[in-house]
Structure 1
Amino acid sequence: MLTEGEFRALIVLRGEMTVSELATNLDRSLSYTSELVTRLGTAGLVKIRRQGKTKQIRLSDTKALELLGNLTQQYSHIDWPELLSGSALRVCYYLDTPRTATDLARRADVHRSTVHRALSPLQHRGIVYQTDDNTYALNEGFEQLSVFAQELAHQTHRQTVKAQIDTYTILWESLDEFLVQTDTEIVDENFTPTGPDQFQRYDLPLLARDRRYYLYSETTEDLSPETLCCHMLVIDSGARTRSYCLLLLSHIDIDRDKLRAQALKYDVDDVVDELCTYLNTSGDQRTSRLPEWEDFQELAEEYGVTA
């Protein structure tokens, strides 16, 4: 997320400095520091102002930097750049609740040994501890470390989408991915269209909307029906959307294990469980936001789906 050098630059930078002054404070070369500043500027973490031939730089007004400032002031004796470089901050992103090394490795997309290696220095400094059931957790007073990692990722996501469009809403995000709503088309290959209009891919033409939805991911090449169902529930979990998801689950041969995994990822597992139970019991077990079975059968018939 940040290199050790980028961390040190953010901590050293106070007020407004020239690149030369920052290089002196970091005890690094001018060319190295200039590259750091360029990367931090692209990330939206520093503001760059030209004054003649000189670049004046200062920290941007982001929540992530406010949290970093709090950490470095409150725990000035800790070498945060050394502790948080590499995979440590990626892992800390998911320490908003106690988690096992296996869970952290899966979520942060690293090896279990990497989790242990990244958290060992933090555990040695009393920042992280292991519970009796072998889960990792942040000690009291250091909970803001996870919030900082999340805010830093959020800032990165904002810069990524702002490079494409001006007006947007991020509906869901993880460390490396996010779901965004906009009124403008995005053509970048890392933004995969999702939402209601993608039901046409499965011969389920839903009412067109002005809003567009995209999943940003550098690894997702195609949108599976399981993922589309979860995206719909993130976008809107109302009764109509649930009925549309029921249509999709009835119409397509869904991998239930994959659906469950995606539901956990997008934090819609409770709703997905309700949908699956509803279909498995032909509507005998339903919640108030799900239709009567006869009503769903009528809707399914309209779309040529066998309920």
Structure 2
Amino acid sequence: MLTNAGIELLDALHRGREATVHELADETGLSTSQIYRTADELRTEGLIDESRGHHNQRLLRVTSHPVIEAYRSLVSKLGHVDWPDLLSPATIRICWFLDEPRRATTIADRLDITRQAVHHALDPLKYRAMLSPSGPEYALVPGLQPLHDFAEAVILHEHRTRVRRLAPSATVEWFDPERALVHVHTKDDTAALRAADEWEMTGLARFASFDLQFFLAGEPAFWYAPDEHLRPAQVVCHSLVADTGSRRVSYALLLIEHADIDENDLRNTATWYGLESTVSDMYAFLNGEVEQRDSRETVLPDPAEYESLKSQYGVR
């Protein structure tokens, strides 16, 4: 996670200058030992480079990493703000949620923290009138999209770094501050994530645990949410994140019926993946509303073909 000290260093270096550890200590107020430690962490993660200057002193500079570019964009558009004073790791995580109005309780539940912790992390933004209250909900005010983009870049970087330590070919398909859905592209990386306690196989590959065995083209998807039990509703959404074509939708429909997935649970889960309309279309299909099929965004299966598929897999 990008720490407060890390934010201070990125802010001091984001314009591309080189600086020694002692220069950065004078500028930021951080101790030299804290700067050495933080710089080593940022260098390992690809955010900082270093060279040697006069008397072999370490010269630090930022790279062109997406996190750095997102911070540069934030400062270029909102340079009047002292961002290191406003941004903490907790505030960055909560900013991920604020691209649309959300209740503090919703964010707290999603992060498994208290509502008071959410408000505490948001206080610096409230005091600068950066939040747009809408009843009990909060969102970033118009013009603060670069702040959300920076938060998203930081959190994506964390997930990507975590998974690529085990599986270098992994790509992140979806994420929030606590969870990530990834795909891998080599058999070795599949084996590595299958052996890792914090990762679970998901998507179509997980259907086999429900006695629905499909041919998989390529390597499976994996889910990172170490403090949660993977629910069938999530497996449905994971199978649809990258593909809502007729075949994927047919398989997802089979799982909905076969596992008797709670409709409210699936609808609520789908909101986090941008699949609300897809899931609505799927339930309309199951309820026999196929006459509206051509006007829907989701590619629904032919009813007769779906009934044949149900028969093939013994789904009633």
* TM-score bucket (shorter structure): 0.7 to 0.9
Asked if the contact 1:274–1:286 (Cα under 8 Å) also holds between the matched residues in 2, the reply is: no
Displacement of 1:27 in angstroms is 3.2
1:150 alignment counterpart: 152
The 3 A distance-change label for structure 1 pair 30 and 108 is same
Q: Within 1, Cα distance between the matches of 2:148 and 2:223?
A: 23
- 1:291 paired with 2:301, answer yes
The 3 A distance-change label for structure 1 pair 223 and 116 is closer
1:303 alignment counterpart: 313
2:163 alignment counterpart: 161
The 3 A distance-change label for structure 1 pair 177 and 115 is same
Asked if the contact 1:195–1:235 (Cα under 8 Å) also holds between the matched residues in 2, the reply is: no
Asked if the contact 1:91–1:105 (Cα under 8 Å) also holds between the matched residues in 2, the reply is: no
In the TM superposition, what are the counterparts of 1:65-144 in structure 2 within 5 Å? 65-72=68-75, 75-131=78-134, 133-144=135-146
Greater helix fraction, Structure 1 or Structure 2:
2
Residues 233-271 of structure 1: per-residue CA shift (max 9 Å, x gap): 113110001111111112113222322222112221221
Asked if the contact 1:96–1:147 (Cα under 8 Å) also holds between the matched residues in 2, the reply is: no
1:196 alignment counterpart: 204
Displacement of 1:122 in angstroms is 1.5
Asked if the contact 2:93–2:155 (Cα under 8 Å) also holds between the matched residues in 1, the reply is: no
Residues 157-184 of structure 1: per-residue CA shift (max 9 Å, x gap): 2222322233333221222222112222
Displacement of 1:90 in angstroms is 1.6
The 3 A distance-change label for structure 1 pair 247 and 74 is closer
Secondary structure, in 3 states, of the residue corresponding to 2:98? coil
The 3 A distance-change label for structure 1 pair 256 and 140 is closer
Secondary structure, in 3 states, of the residue corresponding to 1:88? helix
Aligned with 2:24 (options 18, 22, 38) = 22
2:249 alignment counterpart: 242
Displacement of 1:96 in angstroms is 1.3
2:48 alignment counterpart: 46
Q: Within 2, Cα distance between the matches of 1:66 and 1:146?
A: 13
Displacement of 1:8 in angstroms is 1.0
The 3 A distance-change label for structure 1 pair 22 and 255 is same
In percent, how many aligned pairs have the same letter? 33
Secondary structure, in 3 states, of the residue corresponding to 2:201? strand
1:228 alignment counterpart: 235
Q: Within 2, Cα distance between the matches of 1:293 and 1:141?
A: 46
The 3 A distance-change label for structure 1 pair 216 and 286 is farther
Q: TM-score, normalised by structure 2?
A: 0.84
The 3 A distance-change label for structure 1 pair 82 and 177 is same
Q: Within 2, Cα distance between the matches of 1:262 and 1:42?
A: 35
Asked if the contact 2:247–2:301 (Cα under 8 Å) also holds between the matched residues in 1, the reply is: no
1:34 alignment counterpart: 36
Unaligned regions of 5+ residues in structure 2, if any? Answer: none
